[in-house]
Structure 1
Amino acid sequence: MKTLINNYVNTFKGLSKEVWWLALITLINRAGTMVIPFLSLYLTKSLGFTVSNVAWIMSAFGLGSVVGSWLGGKLTDQIGYYKVMCYSLISTGILFIALQFLSTFVAFCIGIFLVMLVADTFRPAMFVALSAYSKPENKTRSVTLIRLAINLGFSAGPAVGGLIITSLGYGGLFWVDGITCIAATLVLINVLNPKTTKTLDEVKVKNPKSAYADKAFLMFLVAMLFFGIVFLQYFSTMPIYYKDVHFLTELEIGFLLGMNGFLIFVFEMPLIKWLENTRFNKTSLMLFGAILTGLSFLILNLSGWVGVLVIGMLLMTFGEMIAFPFSNAFAMDRAKKGNQGEYMALYSIAFSIAHIFGHNMGLQLTAKVGFDNTWLFITALAAVCVFLLVGLKLYLKAKKKQKSSFIAIEDEEILWI
């Protein structure tokens, strides 16, 4: 047991203190985001909106995320990641508290759009900060540590959220979310001020390549868009499926979603450390993660047994554990070719667009064709993601081979001279 614990602890060694502080800030912030998993339930149960209304509200959620991610990338390249993170966190806290006072469909669409616009300016800035505070060889594990913080907060958030709903109602969630965002701002100001932090990998490109001209990166983004659409069903369509088909309570749903975060907290870092030392590259690992996530939906139609929900959650969790850290690391590697804010903004935007279409599409499909057919369609989208990642792998392999041939020809010419 002692050896096992030591091996687990060793997977965290070598990461900078700034990365640890960034993880703590993320943990504080994420612990309060208990509103999001229960948002579809809040809108239908407390405000009396139809499933169709909820679908459009979730599209406004995604649209705000797209605009916020794009704006965050622009601002990060112009004023720096520190200022963007500070302004985003404190403004998001205030807006989340105000969101609970909106009760009409149009008002909530506008409100959730503004909340996500401000909240998601944080994401590109955070990724650039993470890259700056990490040594090149530690970037994947640094990303994994941030994800651990996110999922530790997320594992506690839904469980606590279920208790708050039971005792105080949905309104308490908005207050907790807003206060934690403000608390995260105070920590950020005190521990990550640029005057006192150490940059370990400062990237300056004299003639930056536009992310829009990077064919491999664009192919990767489309794959991540499809992956995002599939993955996000667990945070809008799936809670309704749990409640309406398997008759789970809010508390049971909270604990089931919380299991995802707990498993990631326990297993992800050792898993990533082990996978980094295998012969598989980032693209192959993303491919495997996408396959597992797709299977998590396919098995839901195989049985009405409630235990299949746990199996599906396990498949999705391990798929997520593999796909997300290596996709983050892939994006940060490509970002060294140009403006980092632009690259990381586009990476965030891929998932923001998934928010626009994923929630709406999933909810509309369940209303029209039922859950079983919806899961088959989502599995097909996962297959498209897998196909795109296979194409990306072959494209990168061909480019690498072409580059090697070019170098060999140059060397031969030098020998003749």
Structure 2
Amino acid sequence: MTTTGISTPPVQRRRSALPGPFWALWSGTLVNRLGTMVLPFTGVYLTQARGFSVAVAGLAMTLFGVGSLLSQLIAGLLTDRIGRRATLCGSMLATAAVMLAVGYSTSLPAIIAAMFVLGLLIDAYRPASSALVADLVPPALRPRAFGLLFWAVNLGYAVAMVAGGWLAGLGFSWLFWADAVTCVVFAVLVWRAVPETRPAPGAPGAGPAGGFGAVLRDRTMVAFTCITLGQALVYLQTVTMLPVAMTDVAGLSPREFGLAMALNGLLIVAFQPFVAARLDRFDPPRVMALGLAVMALGFAATAYVTTMAGLALTVAVWTAGEIVTAGIGGAIVAALAPVRLRGRYNGIYGFAWALASAVAPLAGSRLLTAGVGTLWCTVGATGLLAAVGMLLLGPAVRRRTATTDRQ
């Protein structure tokens, strides 16, 4: 006799569940992002609380950006050499200390030096975190796992922006202490609940330390890094040229712009976990290509925006693409990277985003000077080019996915 509505067998449920150490990593990430209050208010802190000029504040943030560029490469090496857990926890504890140093320094040289070191440290946890997910989570569940981390980051950041504004009114030192404490909590959670997953010397999957040569000789990874750079250049216009184009050119008020942009966070928090749970059954390269194409369409349509409603519509479109791509990039890197090189592969992946954060405002400002249509059509074309590149790279990614986890 056949029966409908049979429950999922226990073994199958266990295989579809994410492991406990992943949830400890997820919880630590959420706590850490809840405390991300200093960076959004750094310029205000340096000019108002410390009395520095806008030019000095810009110099401090530039040096922070230089540190961020180096951060991912250095952290990627450390992840493979000293271990995932040690790199993550060490960088978080060091970030807490430097965060307080920035908050309590009064001289310009001390603040400038501390901002550079903070750039080196604040996101150094990312290659280690991504390597831990790749080590702990089965390949079929990685898109979901990376998507959930993306969701935690966005949820935490949304809360931090509100709480940070309130705490800044009480005194900027509260921001630095909140950020430092959440970094320590992240480190303690991971140290106590997440095992070290780096292959021991002589164990299967272990290999010589080396540098980035093996990664750079991997043409598939290099191609994917270029696609990621294109994706990042598109997305980072949201925090560089989109505010300028919408307020200075399209004539929207800051309030109208803020309300429309709030839709991005609301949609991610409301829908991303559910979308991620349903997309992990599909081919990651095709899913990512689809998301990139939708993002490209949304940004290209921004060229025609003249009202808050129009902006909200385009925000909804490119946010849909952002939700689709969330977590896929990390899952593809995990599929491409041999176990012994996962830190370095994720370091190169993170470097593409850090490089884009430096290039996006420079390129975007030049394009906007040429015209709004020039900016958004170029941004849309870049996104479509990345989507096509992802489709062309798909067969190579699928071949590697079948073999990497046996190395």
Equivalence for 2:6? none
Give CA deviations for 1:187-206 in whole Å, capped at 9, x if unaligned.
223322549x9xxxx97166
Equivalence for 2:220? 216
Deviation at 1:353, TM superposition (A): 1.1
Equivalence for 1:150? 153
Where does the alignment leave 5 or more consecutive residues of structure 2 unmatched? 1-12, 400-407
- The CA distance in 2 between the partners of 1:295 and 1:36, in whole Å, is 30
Q: Is the 8 A contact 1:151 1:262 kept in 2?
A: no
Equivalence for 1:316? 318
Q: Is the 8 A contact 1:151 1:265 kept in 2?
A: yes
Equivalence for 2:404? none
2:98 to 86, 95, 99: 95
The amino acid that maps onto 1:127 is S
1:175 to 137, 158, 177: 177
Equivalence for 1:285? 287
Deviation at 1:40, TM superposition (A): 5.6
Give CA deviations for 1:334-354 in whole Å, capped at 9, x if unaligned.
013761111111111111111
Distance change (3 Å), C-alpha of 1:341 and 1:329: same
Q: Is the 8 A contact 1:89 1:185 kept in 2?
A: yes
2:353 to 346, 351, 354: 351
- The CA distance in 2 between the partners of 1:74 and 1:387, in whole Å, is 31
Give CA deviations for 1:236-272 in whole Å, capped at 9, x if unaligned.
444566776533369x84x766653342232112212
Specify the SS of the correspondent of 2:305: coil
- The CA distance in 1 between the partners of 2:378 and 2:345, in whole Å, is 28
Q: Is the 8 A contact 1:294 1:378 kept in 2?
A: no
Deviation at 1:73, TM superposition (A): 1.0
Equivalence for 1:248? 254
The amino acid that maps onto 1:390 is V
The amino acid that maps onto 1:246 is L
Where does the alignment leave 5 or more consecutive residues of structure 1 unmatched? 1-9, 402-417
The amino acid that maps onto 1:204 is G
Q: Is the 8 A contact 2:292 2:386 kept in 1?
A: no
Report percent identity of matched pairs. Answer: 24
Specify the SS of the correspondent of 1:33: coil
The amino acid that maps onto 2:322 is E
Distance change (3 Å), C-alpha of 1:290 and 1:39: farther
Q: Is the 8 A contact 2:91 2:125 kept in 1?
A: yes
Distance change (3 Å), C-alpha of 1:400 and 1:21: closer
Give CA deviations for 1:292-328 in whole Å, capped at 9, x if unaligned.
3334433334233223343333233222222231111
The amino acid that maps onto 1:64 is G
Distance change (3 Å), C-alpha of 1:388 and 1:235: closer
The amino acid that maps onto 2:220 is A
Equivalence for 1:192? 194
Deviation at 1:284, TM superposition (A): 2.5
Specify the SS of the correspondent of 1:210: helix
The 10-residue stretch of structure 1 (303-312 or 390-399) with the greater mean CA deviation from structure 2: 390-399
The amino acid that maps onto 1:294 is A
Give CA deviations for 1:156-182 in whole Å, capped at 9, x if unaligned.
1222233334x3365543332222212
Distance change (3 Å), C-alpha of 1:60 and 1:225: farther
Deviation at 1:390, TM superposition (A): 1.6
1:306 to 284, 301, 308: 308
- The CA distance in 2 between the partners of 1:60 and 1:324, in whole Å, is 29
Distance change (3 Å), C-alpha of 1:27 and 1:400: closer
Specify the SS of the correspondent of 2:33: helix
Equivalence for 2:235? 231
Specify the SS of the correspondent of 2:253: coil
TM-score normalised to structure 2 length: 0.78
Give CA deviations for 1:15-34 in whole Å, capped at 9, x if unaligned.
11111110000000011113
Q: Mapping of 1:331-346 within 5 angstroms?
A: 331-336=333-338, 339-346=341-348
2:391 to 378, 390, 393: 393
Distance change (3 Å), C-alpha of 1:84 and 1:215: same
CA RMSD of aligned residues (A): 3.8
Specify the SS of the correspondent of 1:391: helix
Distance change (3 Å), C-alpha of 1:39 and 1:227: farther
Deviation at 1:398, TM superposition (A): 7.7
The amino acid that maps onto 1:247 is S
- The CA distance in 1 between the partners of 2:72 and 2:105, in whole Å, is 24
Specify the SS of the correspondent of 1:14: coil
1:31 to 29, 34, 38: 34
1:112 paired to 2:115: yes
- The CA distance in 2 between the partners of 1:343 and 1:185, in whole Å, is 23
Deviation at 1:228, TM superposition (A): 1.2
The amino acid that maps onto 2:375 is F
Distance change (3 Å), C-alpha of 1:388 and 1:257: closer
Equivalence for 1:294? 296
Equivalence for 1:163? 166
TM-score normalised to structure 1 length: 0.77
- The CA distance in 2 between the partners of 1:214 and 1:77, in whole Å, is 17
The 10-residue stretch of structure 1 (57-66 or 333-342) with the greater mean CA deviation from structure 2: 57-66
